Chain A
Amino acid sequence: MSESIVKGKVYDIQGFSVQDGPGIRTTIFLKGCPLSCPWCHSPESQAFRSQLSWISMRCIGVEQCGKCIKACPKGAIKAGNAVKKSGTDEAISYVSIDRSLCDDCGDCTKVCYPGALYLCGEDYTVEELLKRVSKDIPFYDESGGGVTVSGGEALSQAEFTFELLKGLKERKIHTALDTTGFTDPKNIQQVLPYTDLFLYDLKNMDSSQHKIVTGVPNERILDNARRIAEAGGKLQIRVPIIPNFSDSEENIRLTGEFCRSLGDAVVLIQLLPYHDLGIVKYQRIYDDVKVLKAEPPSDEKIMELKKILEDFGLTVTVH
């Protein structure tokens, strides 16, 4: 059957993930996204290909190891600066990677046992993933949880996501799909019967601003949300609160109005205040930090915005 033929590019599978829908869940993160939000806290999700990643802390030093240097066919790796090994006074040298020479072939990761170098993005069949996530069924059952398919934009790998959600439903596992909504309506149509809950981002109600900042306008996103609601789907709306972009009272009010217009399809609104944890992750795949740096919004501000939405009769949580 087609199930086992389609492969998806996955960059992470997280067990006991508790922020991505009801109960205890496993979240599958797929690679690739058509948007490019500057605050993105999983930059490794943006590209569609596998990328060489680097976690310095894990490197045991070129003195003891240095195998990656020999393994690289492009000569992209050389010994870098000396640092102190964590918890000791021992000086070791990490490696330095010349990104302009690297083509993400992954040869170096095969010899790096400590996993300092690793390829972000691994191919899985639907069958493999189903096997993996089925292990936690007892936890889903006890907690009312299940599996969340996330990204990137999961619907960028539409066929795979569809097969995956279908497979999950066949195993009677609760499904959630975390999506930007920026996708061909037919993709939404296809997954609707197999998706118990859409985790749906509304980043900004003003389409031109949306386009300037994320790279795409919002009409299609809003349309798809209406489509889901009309078809009887359930939505958990996520609103990132980004300073000087989405944090205006006006934007939040419009968001509230829009959600109200969807009838009882919206079960919950999650406010996601900006944080700067993404920066560390950028450093794993890029030399320079492109991520947005800003002051996280204050608690009072968040509470005000929460109140606006609650006045629409919506249930709101903050993460």
Chain B
Amino acid sequence: MYKLKPVSIRVLKMREMYRNTVPKVCTARLKIVTDFYQNNPNITGILKRGLVFKEIAEKTPVLISQGEVVVGSMAATYRGSALFPENDIAWMQVDYDAGKLFNRELDPYIIEEEDWDYIKSVIPYWEKNSLSAMVDQYIPEGYFNAVGNQVTVYNGKNICTAPVGHFCTNYDKAIRKGFGAVKAEAQAKMAEMEGHMSGNMIEQYNFYRSVVIVCDGMITLSKRYAAEAAQQARECTDPARKAELEMMADSLNWIMKNPARTFYEAIQVMMLYQIGLCLHNNMHGISFGRVDQYLSSFYEADLAAGRTTPEKAQEIFDLFALKVAEMNKIWFSGTTLTVTGYTVGQLMTLGGVDKDNNDASNAVTYMMLQTAGRLLLHDPPMSLRIHKNTPAELWEAALETTKICGGVPTFENDDVIIPALMRNGRMDLQSARNYTLIGCVEPAGCGDEWPACGGSGGEAYWNMPMAVLHAINDGHNPMADRYGNITEKRTGANTGYLYEMETFEDVLEAVKTQYQFFLEWQMTMVNMFEVVAAEHMSQPLVSCMMDGCMESGKDVMKGGAKNNSSGVPGVGIGNAVDSLVAIKYMVYDKKLCTGKELLDACLTNWEGKEDLHQFILNKVPHFGNDDEYADEWAAWLLNLFADIVASFTSIRGCKFAPGLYPVATNVLWGLLTPATPDGRRKHEPLSDGISPVQQLDKHGPTALLKSVVHIPQEKYSNGTLLNMKFHPSALSNETGMAKLIALMKTYFNLGGMELQLNVISGETMRKAQENPEEYKDLVVRVAGYSAYFVELFKNCQDDLIRRTEIDL
């Protein structure tokens, strides 16, 4: 029987502080960066990004809160949020003007008046100097015709509010080698080149130069924390805490420059490197990678040497996780709708196979699950890699954790993901076996790949049913897009109207044309963004540890990493597939209505067409019921999507990688998507992940899983996401658990890639809506992330309740 271990008082107090602190916006970073940019217009490119990090490392507030052992802060106050103007900060003015800045409905922040005055004063500068402003200049002329389509997210301006993110650099190297060694390596490379640089060697030289600068920055940051710890030690009257602070000071003086010596030091390196990356980069899906793999040898060595006990190590890990949980950033209010709960996606991966394909789980794997289960933390999110030889006790520990902490961990299938990652030249076997998860569910190299998961700049989410609608509506979007653009013009390709299509094959042709049209635009826009961003947002701090960059002398943004990829995730799969099926069934196979009737019904939101609407919802086959009539089209459509995406090349020379996950865009996008032929009404959420349309899977979980394996998941190396909701009674005893494990294993054997569970009843969620205070700690899986249920946006809560619940 799986048991939760006791939590120490110190950890409980820390958790309380985390849960009870309303984050405050801190302008320190904004000021450092603005001053640097304004005072140094002559410093550009990779040097600018290197030097600005050094500046941050020297000046960012150093904060060690009471009782902390693992340290590192984004801001001057506990749980504070830094500001990141380099991408875009004009959104703050937009929110302010809309009255949404000071009283945010979701994820509230404290903003001092005087801080707002300062922010306001620098917005005009950044409006001309942010990456977003620069990228806008490069939008291809033809794209303006497509603006307003709502298939791609890009508008005609401000298209890169989401920063470069979603990656995992090599923390293991940072821990075991240190920044001192990497700096020396870069200096040696420079010395070698000095005075005789032909061709583009000068670019390499500049890269190494920038590496030296950021390594110094990392070491400086650590030493500043060491000084603060030493200072607090001197003032401390409690002898135990004093000794602890002295130990911390000693470690902080040593690490970053030198290899870590203990479990604690290894964790502290990860933490400070993370703080560095986030302060440099705008924290956006910056993921930790295979944490249990980095830490295991340190833990075992400490135990053997008597330097630690399992309890002490567990406490340090608890404190580490709470430290990560505390990190957050204020988002644009509109974006907050899709990533509520102060979510920033600092994912940790556990389990999986090692380089020889043996099980790699270890004591730290269990320690991580203990942390999530005992502290009910949705952040850091965790992903468990499953394979044929995953030990039974790890299955049990993971399921027990997800029962109490919704969706933590997610379950990832090595047996599908590893071969998927080796497709299309993405990576070799060695890298693939060492993969990690990024952001929410995206497989990527662990410290050796620049995956640009989810695209760069604007998120790369792509609205699948909307493209189907374009296909039958001659390329028109009948509804205003999220920027309020409503347009008479054709935003897609010219494919004619449904009633002009004589056969279902004609419909399929039209769908192909629109998919090609919008996917090409999608990838064009990502490439356009990357070209500009590679110049202005170099990543020397990531690159210095990432495998391949030191060897090639190239930044990750320029393709320097050992492996490269670029993800494009589709959203609303269930609706898109069901739309095709409904068209086929109603108009062509059974001829129960005309194409005109069906299209008109969509354009008028089924007004006055309730009979047709009910017939489609209830009598037409739907994806998710193990019915070949419908499932065949899932295979067709998702092969189409995957093949188009995989054929396109990124500026870094790699191929694009298709994915199928929505974060929670399915709810927001539903609000912006007209009625669709599958019977979905206007404004209703799109289907979630690769799930069937909410509540239209009527034959239970086995049929659902059989349907979703029609999706060629092995082609989706950017990840797929399947949420399942179980009633608690389904897992109340050992037989229930065993059957659930068998269910999951069968899904994985049949080609399923990922699965995440909510074990909760609709009733509990409804109660939580009524009495949020009582359900403050209820963690649920939303889509690509977990969150405290009561902190979610109402539509999102409703969507969760609406999803099909499996009971017994």
Contact = CB atoms under 8 A, between A and B. Distances in A.
B746 A113 contact: no
Given A113-B619, A139-B746, A16 B702 contact: yes
Interface string A10-48: 000011111100011010000000000000000000000
Given A114-B614, A135-B703, A18 B735 contact: yes
A60 B610 contact: yes
Contacts of B749: 138, 142
A16 B742 CA distance: 11
A256 interface: no
B743 interface: yes
A81 interface: no
A135 B700 contact: no
Interface in B791-808: 806, 808
Contacts of A15: 699-703
A19 B735 CA distance: 9
A139 B610 contact: no
B235 interface: no
A136 B702 contact: yes
A143 interface: yes
Interface string A130-149: 00000110110111110000
B702 A139 contact: yes
Interface string A223-235: 0000000000000
A191 to B, nearest CB: 25
- For the residues of B in contact with A, the DSSP-based class is helix
B592 to A, nearest CB: 11
Given A16-B743, A24-B739, A138-B749, A113 B700 contact: no
Contacts of B735: 18, 317
Nearest to A63: B610
B755 to A, nearest CB: 14
Nearest to B699: A15
A262 B736 CA distance: 28
A65 to B, nearest CB: 7
A233 B749 CA distance: 33
Nearest to B742: A143
A138 B749 CA distance: 9
Given A24-B739, A142-B749, A143-B742, A113 B701 contact: no
B742 A113 contact: no
A114 B746 contact: no
A139 B741 CA distance: 11
A64 interface: yes
Contacts of A135: 626, 702-703, 706
B618 A114 contact: yes
Contacts of A17: 808
A115 interface: yes
Contacts of B615: 113
Interface residues of B, number: 27
Contacts of B618: 113-115
A60 B611 CA distance: 10
B750 interface: yes
Contact of A18 (B614, B699, B808): B808
B610 A14 contact: no
Interface in B581-618: 610-611, 614-615, 617-618
A86 B615 CA distance: 20
Contact of A16 (B610, B611, B617, B806): B806
A138 B747 CA distance: 9
Given A18-B808, A143-B738, A143-B743, A65 B610 contact: yes
Contacts of B31: none
A308 B745 CA distance: 37
Contacts of A113: 611, 614-615, 617-619
Given A65-B610, A113-B618, A23 B750 contact: no
A24 B743 contact: yes
Contacts of B738: 143
A64 B739 CA distance: 43
Interface in B267-298: none
A145 B745 CA distance: 14
Contacts of A67: 611
A188 B772 CA distance: 56
A142 B614 CA distance: 38
A19 B743 contact: no
A145 B808 CA distance: 15
Contacts of A16: 700-702, 739, 743, 806
Interface in B754-808: 806, 808
A62 to B, nearest CB: 12
Interface in B603-641: 610-611, 614-615, 617-619, 626
A138 B750 contact: yes
Given A19-B808, A65-B611, A113-B619, A139 B743 contact: yes
A49 to B, nearest CB: 24
B609 to A, nearest CB: 11
B611 A139 contact: no
B701 A138 contact: no
Nearest to B750: A138
Contacts of B730: 18
A76 B735 CA distance: 47
Nearest to B802: A87
B610 A143 contact: no
Contact of B742 (A64, A65, A114, A142): A142
23 contacts: A15-B701, A16-B702, A16-B743, A16-B806, A18-B735, A18-B808, A19-B808, A24-B742, A64-B610, A113-B611, A113-B615, A113-B617, A113-B619, A135-B626, A135-B706, A136-B702, A136-B703, A138-B749, A138-B750, A139-B702, A142-B742, A142-B749, A143-B742
Interface of B: 610-611, 614-615, 617-619, 626, 699-703, 706, 730, 735-736, 738-739, 742-743, 745-746, 749-750, 806, 808
* Nearest 7 Cβ contacts at the A-B interface: A143-B742, A15-B700, A113-B614, A142-B746, A16-B700, A113-B618, A142-B742
Given A15-B700, A113-B618, A139-B702, 10 more contacts: A15-B699, A15-B703, A65-B614, A115-B618, A135-B703, A138-B706, A138-B749, A139-B743, A142-B746, A143-B742
